[in-house]
Structures are given as structure tokens and as C-alpha cells.
Structure 1
């Protein structure tokens, strides 16, 4: 059985982390824990949401991909992916679209790309405020080149990614369930 990783991509605020949590809870699919130098938010835990690193410790890791975003570093290591695959033939991770391109290049068909979007991009600003990001942080985020890049599926990934619309959580869960159940029916993972 070929091991695969669901790569959830999209702009900040589209619900990537919520989808990842849902998949883990409902289907017992392990998450590939990624690394970041950004500060921990209320309710987050080291080794669960991210491995929270200092700039120095971040540089010591062996990354499959890494990126700087809004002044912080983010990355996922091959070791982290292998730890998730040791638990299941299917794992899940949350990346930006640049990371999704790298995963596709490095892992080929083992990377199952999911791009999440919304109908109204103004909704994303509201979601960022709701999750506790301050006005300055939200303004910095939505004006960053990375945020603007992630608002659309990159040309390199067109035709290679599932596109999920997250205007409504119930509808989104139905889309996710359909993809996972179809994959199970096709025996893509055990």
C-alpha cells in the first residue's frame, strides 16, 4: 500500500487547521507536525499544533520544505512525515501553496493536494479577528505577498489538487468526508 499525505493548502483563515483536526478526530489520520518560529497562541501546545522553535533551533532541523511568512519561519521535516506514516498509511499536513508545490515535486503521487478557498475573501479578515489576531497582525498578514499568493491555486497545481469551498462548515465536512470515503473505497490506504 502506497503511503500518502493529504496536503491542505489555502490562504490564512480558510480553515486549514480546522479541517486537519476534523480528519484526525473522525478518521484517526495522524497529522504531520510542522515547525514554526512564531509565538504560540492561546490554546496551542508544543508538539501538538506545531513544534515551536527559536530561530537558532529552527535552522538545526532537516526540512522537506520551509518558508518565511509574515516574519516567521515555518517548515515540515521528512522525519515528521515518517513519524506520521509509522502510525498510518495516510497522514495529513497543513502547508501554504509554496509548500504544496514542493511536496508535489518531492513526493509525486504520495502528496494528495487539497486547496481550500472561500467565495468572499472579506470573510477571511473576519475569521482572523475571530481567532484572536490583533488589528496590526491582521493588516500585516493580509497585505503580505504570501497571503495574496495563497488566495488562488498556483498554476503548477491546477489539475493536481482537490478544491474545497469553505463557506459553511457543514458543507465543508461533507466534502472532506466524500474525499476520504472515496479514497477508502479505492483502497488508497489501510
Structure 2
């Protein structure tokens, strides 16, 4: 159970939101996640563990927790992940302890994970999970974005495009689906979804006491 955010004028207690953003690589998910974190101080970020090498500009413990394969396997064996997946030869996992710690602080949590992770998280946390899938405006545009990043070889880009088609095929496993043809507009829609989910009736555990008091006061 988490406390209501300071922005709630009524001070109702509510359950936290496990807010998932997914998209094919290059569709803009990470950009929108960064903008959301900068704009929403009450939102915490789930930092995944990964076995892939650290990239230039990344910081261990901020972008990912970078570990070797043996350490990751030990964490899986010890059931330390809420979800984990094998992607492009590397493993990625969401640590349980970190998620529960953020929730105990009365904050919502943002997840930048793929459809497999979103599915696993939903199986574990059900109604507390809100899943948003971000689509590119077209597949040629997606390829162009990947090529503009200039961080991958053509072979890797081809593999990402193949994976993108598979990921898009799972669009119907999400609660919301957005097309990112304008990043500011897409970001605005994501913010609207988060705001609406925070005040959803099923999350407002403090409403029961308010309603009882309301009826007695009449």
C-alpha cells in the first residue's frame, strides 16, 4: 500500500502504479521514459540488471546494473527477479527488492521492458500493472531511426528490425497503444494515462472511509 501523492488534494490513500513502457528498439520508449521521470518527481525508475557490456555514456546503477553471466544466473536461481528475459544474446532482469523498496516509499514505478517482461509482471502483480505500448509511425521510419543512432552494425539493425516485427505482433497484450510520430504529443498522452490510472477508482483505497463519512455527515 502506498501513500497518496502530494498532488492529490483529498489525500486519499491508494495503491501504487507499476507503469510499463514497451516498444521496439528505436520507437522512442527510452526518450519518453526520460521525459516522464524528469517531469514526475513522484515516479521512481526500475533499474534492470543486465549481462550486456556497458555502452559509452551509460552509468552503472543508473542506466542498468551491469553484472556477469554467473552473477545473473545466481540471481535467477535465488528468485531475485520479478521478471527476466534473454534479448540479443544478453539477459535483462527486474530486481524484486528494488521494486518493493520504491513502493514502500509511496511512489509509482516506471518499467522500460519488453513484451515478455510486461507479461511476466502482469502475471505477478495483476491490476497494479499498467502497460503502454509505443509504435513507430512505420517500419521504414523505424529502420531510419536505428541507422541514425549509428551505434549498431547493419547486421544488428537487421536483427532489431526482425525482433521489432515480433514485438509489434504482441500489441494486443497492452492496456494502451500509442503511435510515436510526434514525441511531444506521444509524451502528453503517456502523462494523461499515468494521471488517469493514479486516480482510478479501484486504486483509491481511501475512498471507502471518505464515502462512509460523507453519508454520515448527511
Scaled by the length of structure 2, the TM-score of the pair is 0.77
Deviation at 1:185, TM superposition (A): 4.7
Deviation at 1:81, TM superposition (A): 1.3
Larger Rg computed on CA atoms: 2
Q: What does the per-residue CA deviation read over 1:110-162, in whole Å, with 9 as the maximum and x for residues that have no partner?
A: 1111111122012222222233223232123223xx4332123354x2xx511
Determine the C-alpha separation between the residues in 2 that align with 1:87 and 1:12: 31
Q: What does the per-residue CA deviation read over 1:90-127, in whole Å, with 9 as the maximum and x for residues that have no partner?
A: 11011111111111111101111111112201222222
Q: Which sits farther off after the overlay, 122-131 or 18-27?
A: 122-131
Determine the C-alpha separation between the residues in 2 that align with 1:36 and 1:108: 25
Gaps of 5+ in 1: none
Q: Describe the SS at the equivalent of 2:58.
A: coil
What are the equivalent positions in structure 2 for 1:88-167 lying under 5 Å apart?
88-131=106-149, 132-143=151-162, 146-155=163-172, 157=173, 160-167=174-181
Deviation at 1:186, TM superposition (A): 4.2
Determine the C-alpha separation between the residues in 1 that align with 2:96 and 2:131: 17
Deviation at 1:3, TM superposition (A): 1.9
Task: Work out whether residues 23 and 29 of structure 2, in 8 Å CA contact, stay in contact via their aligned partners in 1.
Answer: yes
Let me know the Cα RMSD of the aligned residues. 2.1
Q: What does the per-residue CA deviation read over 1:151-188, in whole Å, with 9 as the maximum and x for residues that have no partner?
A: 23354x2xx51112111111112212222332345475
Q: Describe the SS at the equivalent of 2:127.
A: helix
Task: Give the alignment partner of residue 31 of structure 2, picking from 15, 18, 24.
Answer: 18
Name the structure 1 match of 2:216: none
Task: Give the alignment partner of residue 94 of structure 2, picking from 56, 73, 76.
Answer: 76
Distance 1:134 1:86, change over 3 A: farther
Determine the C-alpha separation between the residues in 2 that align with 1:17 and 1:79: 23
Scaled by the length of structure 1, the TM-score of the pair is 0.87
Aligned residue pairs total 185
